[in-house]
Homo-oligomer: A and B are copies of this chain.
Amino acid sequence: MLESDKELLESVLKRRFFFVPSFDIYGGVSGFYDYGPPGCALQANIIDLWRKHFILEENMLEVDCSILTPHEVLKTSGHVDKFSDWMTKDFKTGEMFRVDHLIEQTLNNRIVAEESSTSVAPKDKNLKQLNHSIPLDGDIIRKYKEVLNKLDGYSGDELAKLMEVFEIVNPTTGGKLQSPMEFNLMFETSIGPSSQMKGFLRPETAQGQFLNFNKLLEFNNGKIPFASASIGKSFRNEISPRAGLLRVREFLMAEIEYYVDPQDKSHKKFKDVQNCKLSLLSRDIQERASAVPVRMTLGDAVNSKIIDNQTLAYFMARIYHFLISIGIDNSKLRFRQHMANEMAHYATDCWDAEILTSYGWIECVGCADRSAYDLTVHAKRTKEKLIVRQTLENPVNVSIWDIDFKSGNFYKKLRKQSALVKDHLTSLSQSSLKELSLKLELEGSIQLHVDDIENDIELTNDDIKIVNETKTIHVREYIPNVIEPSFGIGRIIYALIEHCFWRRQEDEARAVFSFPAKIAPSRVLVVPLSSNKELVPMTNLTTSLLKKCKISFKVDDSSVSIGRRYARNDELGTPFAITIDFESKKDETVTLRERDSKLQVRGSIESIVNAIDSIINDELSWKDATKNLTKFEIQNTEN
């Protein structure tokens, strides 16, 4: 995007109150934004469409869970320990930076400076101090690019090493920086009057859904697969928010948790999407330090194991169709697979839908296979079974390693500790039990390290027996796996705004947002040509008809010229304008103007509203919907 276009875009977004920094009159706080009426309506329409596209279409179970979450839940989920970024502090000024972003910015600047210095002479001698002091040759640039590609996955030690090797300093002052420190991204507070219960603002809506798993499964009559979904605010205490709506501290998420049998991740509707072609930037491609995705059908991608399973691929297709339907530019959309070292602590495979904006490729939707991680850890911590029971059509005989606590000295020997040790042993996997059984047989005793017991516990053949038994299983019990499509609504809105923005060739100052009719903040502008009272009855007739058809509209009966009013309309992305003039009074006809083409047609109010209705509902195109209406010659009304 051209710098001048971006300036116009930003000025329109502010002037038309799409969104503004929160607490603006107090100087603002970075990472917080308020949506004004058009932004708010855009958001509501996108959410509405999301609900139809995912929740209704796929019969998902929507839930609305608490934002404030007690410490214990997020300790179990791993967020207290692992949901953090690395930051560094300037020794002198105290300014703080997010380490990965700082390295990214520095290396990119050096590459750009080097590449442009080969054609033009460096303009600024001070560049030296601003992280550009290293002479770059081709090898180093390749090294930089490799680091940039893997930047999401480095550990603290690795980042410290990179800072040292690449001589990363404060980019504005050149000052020295401290070693990276871990900073947890959750906002902390305390619940209740005693200040003893620690809580956090949730960093994702997922945990609330997992905690309700049993109730959801029961609501679904015990059947699997099924999905829960939730739309709501989440919070991340970003170290240094930047890039407008793209990196904020409070944001609206829409998340789906699809529960599936770990032994069968096929999807019954996969055949409907297998021919859908997506741009895939797989792990392989990235490891070759390339950023050129391959276009491939989902059928091929699953067959060649690029995408792990049908369910993951099915949701990638659904995500793709959703984004395209709201107006995201297909050529600026790709799916990038997470590198092994980059995935969240819970994920086994993950693909991000990335959208190209003026800030680069931005992750807008994540689609992760979280495996059984969350349900497993919560079940373990709470001792609540979070499982699916599947009645087997044909009972199966299985060989099972089981522990007999009763026939030995177990309880007598361990007394108060017996409950803890029993819990420990029963939570072990079949292979661990087999191993212990062999050890008992060979060595006569085993040593166990049990949580919350200081010394190791020794057990002998006199205490317990670990035996192999053949059992007939009628009901299979398993912890389902979870496939999670997770949408950052604010990021999608911003990308969409950029993709829909353009300026009229005939008038460079006139910005237009070409939002699809079904998500535009307002569908119709009703424009009485003058404030003459004679036009009021027709205006009222028009608005009552629009209301009846549930089409949102605004009336602009201000005294400014019709051209100015159309221009305002374009800036708000309103797709249609109905103009009421003095002819309207005579023959009950009105004019319909289409935003992008400025084409106008004329017809009865009913026929015009019907045309609009069929376009909004995706039933007809503009051309088909208006083919029986009269083309209307524009008498220079646009100026």
Find residues 207-224 in chain A having any chain B CB closer than 8 Å to their own CB. Answer: 208, 211-212, 214-216, 218-219, 221
Q: Which of B44, B188, B194, B378 is A25 in contact with, Cβ under 8 Å?
A: B378
Query: Scoring A residues 65 to 95 as 1 if CB is less than 8 Å from chain B, else 0, what string do you get?
Result: 1111110110000000000000100000010
Q: Is the CB of A34 within 8 A of B62?
A: no
Interface membership of A529, Cβ < 8 A: no
Q: Is the CB of B70 within 8 A of A29?
A: yes
The residues of B that contact A381 with a CB separation of less than 8 Å are 26
The residues of B that contact A235 with a CB separation of less than 8 Å are 68
Q: Is the CB of B96 within 8 A of A193?
A: yes
Q: Given A37-B62, A221-B558, verify A237-B72 contact (CB < 8 Å).
A: no
**CA gap between A116 and B187 in the complex, in Å:** 51
**CA gap between A179 and B67 in the complex, in Å:** 33
- Residue in B closest to A56 when the chains form the complex, CB atoms: B552
Interface membership of A156, Cβ < 8 A: no
Q: Given A26-B73, A187-B189, verify A250-B68 contact (CB < 8 Å).
A: yes
Q: Is the CB of B20 within 8 A of A67?
A: no
**CA gap between A212 and B23 in the complex, in Å:** 8
Q: Is the CB of B552 within 8 A of A66?
A: no
Interface membership of A577, Cβ < 8 A: no
Q: Is the CB of B33 within 8 A of A62?
A: no
Q: Is the CB of B17 within 8 A of A215?
A: yes
- How many monomers of this protein are in the complex? 2
Q: Given A23-B211, A208-B34, verify A67-B194 contact (CB < 8 Å).
A: no
Interface membership of A36, Cβ < 8 A: yes
- Residue in B closest to A181 when the chains form the complex, CB atoms: B193
The residues of B that contact A37 with a CB separation of less than 8 Å are 61-63, 219
Chain A interface residue number, banded: 35 or more
Q: Is the CB of A70 within 8 A of B558?
A: no
Query: Scoring A residues 17 to 51 as 1 if CB is less than 8 Å from chain B, else 0, what string do you get?
Result: 10010111110010011111101110110000000
- Residue in B closest to A188 when the chains form the complex, CB atoms: B189
Q: Is the CB of B193 within 8 A of A25?
A: no
Q: Given A37-B61, A189-B201, verify A26-B67 contact (CB < 8 Å).
A: no
**CA gap between A212 and B87 in the complex, in Å:** 33
Q: Given A36-B212, A63-B37, verify A237-B24 contact (CB < 8 Å).
A: no
Interface membership of A183, Cβ < 8 A: yes
Interface membership of A233, Cβ < 8 A: yes
- Shortest distance between the CB of A351 and any CB in chain B (Å): 28
Find residues 267-286 in chain A having any chain B CB closer than 8 Å to their own CB. Answer: none
Interface membership of A592, Cβ < 8 A: no
Q: Is the CB of B56 within 8 A of A384?
A: no
Interface membership of A382, Cβ < 8 A: yes
Q: Is the CB of B20 within 8 A of A41?
A: no
Q: Which of A24, A40, A199, A218 has the most CB of B within 10 A?
A: A40
Q: Given A193-B239, A239-B193, verify A211-B66 contact (CB < 8 Å).
A: no
Q: Which of B67, B193, B386 is A237 in contact with, Cβ under 8 Å?
A: B193
Interface membership of A191, Cβ < 8 A: yes
- Shortest distance between the CB of A132 and any CB in chain B (Å): 27
**CA gap between A216 and B36 in the complex, in Å:** 8
Find residues 403-451 in chain A having any chain B CB closer than 8 Å to their own CB. Answer: none
Q: Which of B24, B63, B73 is A211 in contact with, Cβ under 8 Å?
A: B24
Q: Given A191-B237, A212-B20, A249-B191, verify A64-B87 contact (CB < 8 Å).
A: no
Q: Which of B16, B39, B215 is A36 in contact with, Cβ under 8 Å?
A: B215
Interface membership of A138, Cβ < 8 A: no
Interface membership of A197, Cβ < 8 A: yes
Q: Is the CB of A208 within 8 A of B25?
A: no
Q: Given A24-B211, A189-B188, verify A62-B41 contact (CB < 8 Å).
A: yes
- Shortest distance between the CB of A231 and any CB in chain B (Å): 9
Q: Which of B20, B39, B67, B239 is A233 in contact with, Cβ under 8 Å?
A: B67
Q: Given A34-B66, A64-B40, verify A22-B239 contact (CB < 8 Å).
A: no
Q: Which of A39, A63, A197 has the most CB of B within 10 A?
A: A63
**CA gap between A381 and B558 in the complex, in Å:** 35
Interface membership of A360, Cβ < 8 A: no
**CA gap between A72 and B27 in the complex, in Å:** 11
**CA gap between A237 and B25 in the complex, in Å:** 27
- Residue in B closest to A65 when the chains form the complex, CB atoms: B34
Interface membership of A537, Cβ < 8 A: no
**CA gap between A67 and B39 in the complex, in Å:** 17
The residues of B that contact A16 with a CB separation of less than 8 Å are 219
Interface membership of A135, Cβ < 8 A: no
Q: Is the CB of B382 within 8 A of A25?
A: yes
Q: Is the CB of B65 within 8 A of A22?
A: yes
**CA gap between A16 and B201 in the complex, in Å:** 28
Q: Is the CB of A63 within 8 A of B87?
A: no
- Residue in B closest to A386 when the chains form the complex, CB atoms: B25
- Residue in B closest to A24 when the chains form the complex, CB atoms: B211
Can you sample 18 A-B contacts with CB below 8 Å?
A: A20-B215, A23-B211, A24-B212, A26-B73, A26-B211, A29-B191, A34-B64, A34-B212, A36-B216, A40-B63, A66-B250, A67-B250, A94-B194, A183-B193, A187-B190, A187-B191, A191-B237, A192-B239
